[in-house]
Structure 1
């Protein structure tokens, strides 16, 4: 046997050497050169020339060898949406209109879409450049800070308005007692006590020469600021996307292909051929003919070797098939439960095939949402817009509609539908069904959760209502941990991968509904981690996952640790208006906890200073969060242990508050809000 293996290795070495001489390690793949890199992939849109390394959304294809992931000809993050007469570039969840692309200077000029068509524009979001993107802010960019709806009148401790600054005096900014300011960083008054009276603060990039000489000039505050916002700002990109392999590809006349995760796939060469590294188009015909003849001679040998390896691989796979991991061709790892196979794992209340998932027609959901009326839009759901709808049977629902049917988004759609169809837990959003894969559009249908997200109540537009008392926040932490414990305990386990306060919804009674499973991944039972490109939201992504590309269930624990800090601090996970070393809330929390400066982190309005019992519980939650935020994943507790600790703290809350009778304490979960039958009161299945 060892002699046979020796000969096989020699044969393979010969084949590899011949391939290197003749063909330069070709992948053997072909691609549609006209639609991915040719005439149909370039266009003039809104007066902007769109060509490599930019690419149009409709030029995104699935290469044969990489069918599991949508790929494109160009650099990551340079996808252009041709929206009528405008070329649009999406950064995070926000749209920016492209006014010019300088292919020589490697810069692109953008204007926020919220500015266009408005005589008194406002921008209520920060610029989010995905980590996988090739784009970076240029040195020509300055910043303006929007301080929205600041209230210096209400509340006994409200500080006075800083006298040097003048409010914006146009449009809706003049309505009501709340003031809004737009200032360059140099003109922001010192101290942050006054800015805490503002609903939100956002940083807006503009060209450096557009910053005002005098931010209190009446012409500036009455609408003069509009022109700098319309001029927009610039982003730059590196040649070859900063990739050595892409550089070699372009040096040999090829164009680089990447997938949606920012991974280099190969070099797209002339005549529809694809190479693993660089194109070999300069080889003469004799070399090509020799390569073809040599390749043909080796083909028989390779086929024989492949047959042997295939038989051995089949034998190995038969042994390995005892793993209960349910596979799918997509990167998200979607279960087979959509087909209702007999092998699907049991859940709390029966097998997957017993679950009821409805198929809706496009026309039915179009009617339910009033033709996807903008007035019914609830927000963004990761890779689609969510609308409120009313079904014919009277159910009020949330309908998620894909932005467009690119391969990556379709993959996430199928992933979320399949995962949700097999889950039943009172703290997970109820999935009602979806449209058929043959439908005009791909739509997901969920129960409607009416009370917004936890983020809305902590630091969003609902934060001024101060509806989330400390007992409520503790209950939210417990119920969210219960949902994650359930996901990690089922077989095969599920890692959510995008745990954050905007994905934790609240129903009318402020009970938790964890949502948005587009990035979730089924996890093998017999491994400690899965290697995959990092995905998630900045500020919540496990640093070990980001550095080592190794996803584990402790990645969710890290993200949940950030959620715990948000609950005790009322601060967002990322805020570029904070000090440099405190922009990331996780870093800020670890620093304050280690220095015993918890009073500088927590929301003092929750009773931290006035109620010793609340202070004790908030301190315990802070200590638990610090354990979840350990850099080393093995040092973090499993989510079940986190849940146990939180329940212990909640029991303390009940005892400290005289048996739970004090106003504001959350009652036990009501069975009236559960949409399915339950076998027991346990929130997680027994292992």
Structure 2
């Protein structure tokens, strides 16, 4: 679930829990009351929704509590006006529902079912999203309404216009107008915006965030409860045990993590060993060069000079170790050419 939506879900539910704390005391554990799905007309109501007066408030999120009127029509309970959003359909498989406004009239004029409030603001305390699959009608007033979008009748003695919100030309022509936007279902786009009454009556699509914990609970045959701002899963009135499959998956994750950690340690140790081996090899190589030029207990260069004097090449220059060290930048790896008969061969600059 998206973190922001989860926070909104809990905050909106907390407001209801605070208002209901006296009437519904809780000890932090879900009760044994059954959360059998309820009905209001043709509407099947189950988690995360609850039907007020029929199901316990913990059978769903308090923000999703519904009211069923005498005509067997369901409404969202926690709205700033009674019977504002009528719930027409609930699609539990894709977390969406269709709602329609019933009592939203501009300026109290029942001949004009145009909302006089912002739809998105009125739903801001609900963890619900106005679906992007909807279209949107914009109503404008308090301005010179272009004739092409003017409604045939006045509303509360005002001229009102309507257009689909994606109409950029209409939007530019009404920049100085007061406006209210209303979502409608996408298949209504074949109609004219001025024919708004049946489109508003047909409602629009809302979505709620996925409840992964609850979905997993229901797959195990449990019932979801909402207790003290958290989800609890009950099986036969008791907390559901962790499934064997989940246990095996958890064990596999632990074993995999352990193996990965062990392999990482081995790689680190191998890298350290190679570095140490390389440094030792380099020290031995440098020592062999010193031994080649200076034998222990023998004056510097005596043996080599003697050897070269026997070859009849008195002009041959014998370099000291210090000279070679300076010429090769301390026998740097960058100066290394390869391996010869007497050891490593370096390139030097005199």
Paired with 1:77 and 1:210, the residues of 2 have a C-alpha distance of 29
**Structure 1 251/188 Cα, relative in aligned 2: closer, same or farther at 3 Å?**
same
1:168 aligns with 2:151: yes
The CA deviation string for residues 518-559 of structure 1, in whole angstroms up to 9 with x for no partner, is xxxxxxxxxxxxxxxxxxxxxxxxxxxxxxxxxxxxxxxxxx
- Picking from 191, 195, 210, the partner of 2:188 is 210
1:88 positional shift: 0.5
- Conserved 8 A contact 2:29-2:227: no
Q: 1:122 is matched with which residue?
A: 114
- Conserved 8 A contact 2:222-2:235: yes
For this pair of structures, how many residues does the alignment match? 210
Contiguous gaps of at least 5 residues in structure 1: 1-26, 62-70, 153-160, 216-220, 284-687
Contiguous gaps of at least 5 residues in structure 2: 1-26, 245-350
Larger RCO (CA under 8 A, 6+ residues apart): 2
The CA deviation string for residues 392-411 of structure 1, in whole angstroms up to 9 with x for no partner, is xxxxxxxxxxxxxxxxxxxx
Q: Give the structure with higher Rg (CA).
A: 2
Q: 1:56 is matched with which residue?
A: 51
Could you state the TM-score of these two structures normalised by the residue count of structure 1? Answer: 0.27
Q: 1:196 is matched with which residue?
A: 176
1:185 aligns with 2:165: yes
1:81 aligns with 2:67: yes
1:206 positional shift: 0.3
The CA deviation string for residues 185-205 of structure 1, in whole angstroms up to 9 with x for no partner, is 12354677954343xx21111
Could you state the TM-score of these two structures normalised by the residue count of structure 2? Answer: 0.50
1:230 aligns with 2:195: no
1:144 positional shift: 0.7
Paired with 1:226 and 1:139, the residues of 2 have a C-alpha distance of 21
Q: 1:272 is matched with which residue?
A: 237
- Conserved 8 A contact 2:113-2:197: yes
Q: 1:144 is matched with which residue?
A: 137
Paired with 2:77 and 2:175, the residues of 1 have a C-alpha distance of 30
Residue 196 of structure 1 aligns to a residue whose secondary structure is coil
**Structure 1 272/79 Cα, relative in aligned 2: closer, same or farther at 3 Å?**
same
Residue 198 of structure 2 aligns to a residue whose secondary structure is helix
**Structure 1 93/30 Cα, relative in aligned 2: closer, same or farther at 3 Å?**
closer
Paired with 2:67 and 2:188, the residues of 1 have a C-alpha distance of 27
- Conserved 8 A contact 2:76-2:86: yes
Query: How do 1:235-634 and structure 2 match up within 5 A?
Result: 235-240=206-211, 243=212, 245-258=213-226, 263-267=229-233, 269-273=234-238, 275=239, 279-280=240-241
**Structure 1 211/124 Cα, relative in aligned 2: closer, same or farther at 3 Å?**
farther
1:266 positional shift: 2.2
Paired with 1:204 and 1:28, the residues of 2 have a C-alpha distance of 41
1:250 positional shift: 3.0
Q: 2:58 is matched with which residue?
A: 72
Q: 2:96 is matched with which residue?
A: 107
Paired with 1:101 and 1:151, the residues of 2 have a C-alpha distance of 39
- Conserved 8 A contact 2:96-2:207: yes
Q: 2:33 is matched with which residue?
A: 33
- Conserved 8 A contact 2:99-2:204: yes
The CA deviation string for residues 592-636 of structure 1, in whole angstroms up to 9 with x for no partner, is xxxxxxxxxxxxxxxxxxxxxxxxxxxxxxxxxxxxxxxxxxxxx
The root-mean-square deviation of aligned C-alpha atoms, in Å, is 3.5
**Structure 1 185/193 Cα, relative in aligned 2: closer, same or farther at 3 Å?**
closer
Q: 1:539 is matched with which residue?
A: none
